[in-house]
Structure 1
Amino acid sequence: MKKWGIAFVSAALIGVALLAGCGSTDRPAAPVGEGAPAGGDLAPLREKTKVLIAEDGAASGAGFYIAESKGYFAEYNIEVEFATFANSDEMLPALATGEIDVAGGVSTASFFNSIAQGIDVRMIADKGHNRKGASYFTFVIDKEQEGLITDYKDLKGKRVAVSSENGVDDYIFQQMLDHAGLTREDVEFVLIPDFANMLAGMQTDSLDAALQIEPLITRGEAEGIHVKFLDATDFAPEAQIAMVLASPEFVTEKRDVAVRFMAAYLKGLRDYNDAFVKGRGDKAEVIRIMTEYTALKNPELWEQVNVTGLDPNGNMFVDDIKAQYEWYKARGALIRDIDIEAAIDTSLAKEAVEILGEY
């Protein structure tokens, strides 16, 4: 599992992550940079420019994959290259120094601690959030507990698996406890970093519930191992799970490239939203792209899994990112305070939307 602490969303296991769509307004704002053709878009860069993305096949990278496959990056004369890193200790410094331009990941205490230690990265766009009925993380219960656990308060005294401590899924777990009127002492917290091992825990009756991800939610249900339990938007309706990150150099010194990159990314997200949320466009082609780039290779499964939220305008739940930061701080997991406002930069997404129009 690629991690950020446990920060990077696991590509091999997450067959999930996207919400997107395509659209424009009647009067797009005047484009920036090197000029643009008529129709509310940017002209390509005069010279082909390479953008390095740290991404290892997580389905939440849908915007990247679709934009690459459909030629949206190429239309702006951008060539993307995907790079992989063993862990965040290697990736974050490379991002901060501009060795790579863009990456994806989720918030954890260790991520914010990296910023506190001088590693400067920016959160620039959505890469996964809770969507009603299709949360990024949601609880499942052991098949044998069906009918016995009917509400969150019934998790009292139960063994519940979560993939990280002081990570965003731990934050979601805490919100569930608060919603149910439970404390951490009421529930047996079982740390299992590998989501697939949660399925094994259910099979051996060593777990009663788990905060799980797709496609393992759908797989476990199909195999009779667990059942999906309610939905995390019951208590976390606006949870920001994953973000697109960028180097400060990319956001500032390479602005013409960055705005075009963001526009292509949003076009990819909008195509995905058309296919999976709006029920229009070429869904079969989008599924083909996703099976090519991600670990989820079964096209039929793409018809069944929950596709998590990815905002087609790139908007993040900024207040929730700040709430996560404050939660880590309250738990004593941060080494020092950081300027959270400086770490969040929504200007690129807003600029791209001004050009393309609101979805």
Structure 2
Amino acid sequence: MKLGKTLAMLSLAILAATGRVASADDVVRVGEGPFITGGGYFVAEGKGYFKKLGIDVQPKMFIDGALAVPSLISGELDISFMTANAALFNSIAKGAPLVFVLDRGNNKRGRGYTVINVTQELHDGGLKSMADFAKLKGKRIGLGATGSINQYLFAKALEKAGLDPRKDVTWVTNVPQPDLMKMLGQKQVDATDLAYQFGFFAQNNKWGPIVTVDDEIDPDGAVGLYAARKQFVQEKRDVLVRFAMAYLQGVKDFNAAAGDPDGHKDIVEILAKRTALQKPELVRAIAPHWSYTNEDGVPNVKSVMAMQDYWSDYFRLVETKVPESQLFDLSIAREAKARLDRDKPFGN
């Protein structure tokens, strides 16, 4: 009882120092998905970091970040996970009141989260690495969506092999990643770009081996981000900053566990329960390929802007480019990191 009372008093003291008192206004409605790239969020939730800073997170789960966009635009969500895809750039260009505020995973060298798998037949025929991708000319490439991060990475890999991704392959799109694994095994597609866990499953089930991890294609490139409603940023800034503080503490724990899962069994258990992996042994098996999240919270701006340029200038999927100043608000991450370092609400 004494310990609980002490923690409660500490939480109130922290809130008082920020000029806020915990209230119903401190709700944050979050769009999330069952992917390990969201590990920073799941750890912060599982370890009570949000509650400690007076934040009541109310998550709504989506199988793809693109599906959360309508809910974010309509005001049903305050913040949501996203990928920097062509459709999202177009939505913002047309007036969607969204802004990128936090990193949510990138293909840091050595910790790449997305992979390319090919059929066993192609692998046996000599396609064993990105250096052999010229063999994909005329082949069918499976994807979750046109203009997605997965298509971007695969297209860049094809270019490195001297192919034109606009005409030298056939894109098979709008297929969920679990189905793409099976289609690979059934030779309905010849290759696909998948989240690491799905690529791992496909390889283990003999549907097709992993031939490259995408940190070889776009080192440190953005995979996921958090986008927030501009109105929420303006009207509930302190709430969002405290959300970001708790999240960044979760990110720090998540990154440490990715490098040493056996030394962070509590983190592994949290991730197993809250992601599609379900089993701690699977979480450990794919480490360190959980993705990496920047511990200062700042998204990889250069990478995101390069994606927009690519979809606009090369594939012609983006009609009107949005300037960096309209796409990002980096002040949230910077203020959260500064307050986290100064106040040390979690003791480290």
User: Partners in 2 of 1:58 and 1:169 — Cα distance?
Assistant: 15
User: Partners in 2 of 1:86 and 1:214 — Cα distance?
Assistant: 16
SS of equivalent residue, structure 2 residue 299:
coil
Post-superposition offset of 1:92: 3.1
Post-superposition offset of 1:261: 0.6
Query: Counterpart of 1:176?
Result: 157
Query: For residues 80-122 of structure 1, what are the alpha-carbon distances to aligned partners after superposition, in whole Å with 9 as ceiling and x for unaligned?
Result: 1112469878843542454421111112221112112211111
The 5-angstrom pairing of residues 36-115 of structure 1 reads 36=17, 45-47=21-23, 49-84=26-61, 91-96=68-73, 98-115=75-92
Post-superposition offset of 1:154: 2.8
Pair 1:142-2:119 in alignment: yes
Change beyond 3 A, Cα 1:63–1:88: closer
User: Partners in 2 of 1:106 and 1:303 — Cα distance?
Assistant: 25
Query: For residues 175-194 of structure 1, what are the alpha-carbon distances to aligned partners after superposition, in whole Å with 9 as ceiling and x for unaligned?
Result: 11221122123334333522
Query: Counterpart of 1:234?
Result: 216
TM-score by structure 1 length? 0.81
User: Partners in 2 of 1:200 and 1:94 — Cα distance?
Assistant: 31
The 5-angstrom pairing of residues 10-29 of structure 1 reads none
CA contact (8 A) 2:103 2:294 kept: yes
Change beyond 3 A, Cα 1:200–1:34: closer
SS of equivalent residue, structure 2 residue 42:
helix
Query: For residues 186-211 of structure 1, what are the alpha-carbon distances to aligned partners after superposition, in whole Å with 9 as ceiling and x for unaligned?
Result: 33433352212222222223333221
CA contact (8 A) 1:34 1:256 kept: no
Report percent identity of matched pairs: 26
Post-superposition offset of 1:356: 2.2
TM-score by structure 2 length? 0.83
Query: Counterpart of 1:251?
Result: 233
User: Partners in 1 of 2:201 and 2:261 — Cα distance?
Assistant: 24
- The counterpart of 2:204, out of the listed 210, 217, 222, is 222
Query: For residues 263-312 of structure 1, what are the alpha-carbon distances to aligned partners after superposition, in whole Å with 9 as ceiling and x for unaligned?
Result: 0000111111121225685x221122112222221111111112112222
Question: Could you say which structure has the higher helix fraction?
Answer: 2
User: Partners in 2 of 1:85 and 1:343 — Cα distance?
Assistant: 22
Change beyond 3 A, Cα 1:151–1:279: closer
Query: Counterpart of 1:350?
Result: 334
Pair 1:152-2:130 in alignment: yes
User: Partners in 2 of 1:183 and 1:134 — Cα distance?
Assistant: 28
Gaps of 5+ in 2: 1-13, 343-347
Query: Counterpart of 1:315?
Result: 298
User: Partners in 1 of 2:21 and 2:158 — Cα distance?
Assistant: 50
Change beyond 3 A, Cα 1:89–1:188: closer
Gaps of 5+ in 1: 1-32, 37-41
User: Partners in 2 of 1:53 and 1:323 — Cα distance?
Assistant: 27
CA contact (8 A) 1:45 1:257 kept: no
CA contact (8 A) 1:218 1:304 kept: no
Change beyond 3 A, Cα 1:89–1:268: closer
CA contact (8 A) 2:116 2:191 kept: yes
SS of equivalent residue, structure 1 residue 104:
strand
CA contact (8 A) 1:98 1:248 kept: no
Post-superposition offset of 1:238: 2.6
User: Partners in 2 of 1:223 and 1:78 — Cα distance?
Assistant: 42
Q: Between 148-157 and 262-271, report the one with greater CA deviation.
A: 148-157
Change beyond 3 A, Cα 1:73–1:197: same
Change beyond 3 A, Cα 1:141–1:276: same
Query: Counterpart of 1:22?
Result: none
User: Partners in 1 of 2:21 and 2:214 — Cα distance?
Assistant: 42
Post-superposition offset of 1:319: 0.7
User: Partners in 2 of 1:238 and 1:272 — Cα distance?
Assistant: 17
User: Partners in 2 of 1:134 and 1:34 — Cα distance?
Assistant: 36
Pair 1:277-2:255 in alignment: no
Change beyond 3 A, Cα 1:154–1:276: closer
RMSD over aligned Cα atoms: 2.6
User: Partners in 1 of 2:123 and 2:96 — Cα distance?
Assistant: 46
Q: Between 202-211 and 63-72, report the one with greater CA deviation.
A: 202-211
Change beyond 3 A, Cα 1:130–1:89: closer
* Larger RCO, structure (CA 8 Å, separation 6 or more): 1
CA contact (8 A) 1:96 1:248 kept: no
SS of equivalent residue, structure 1 residue 150:
coil
Change beyond 3 A, Cα 1:43–1:76: farther
Query: For residues 110-161 of structure 1, what are the alpha-carbon distances to aligned partners after superposition, in whole Å with 9 as ceiling and x for unaligned?
Result: 1112112211111011112112234222111222333511343533334332
Post-superposition offset of 1:55: 1.7
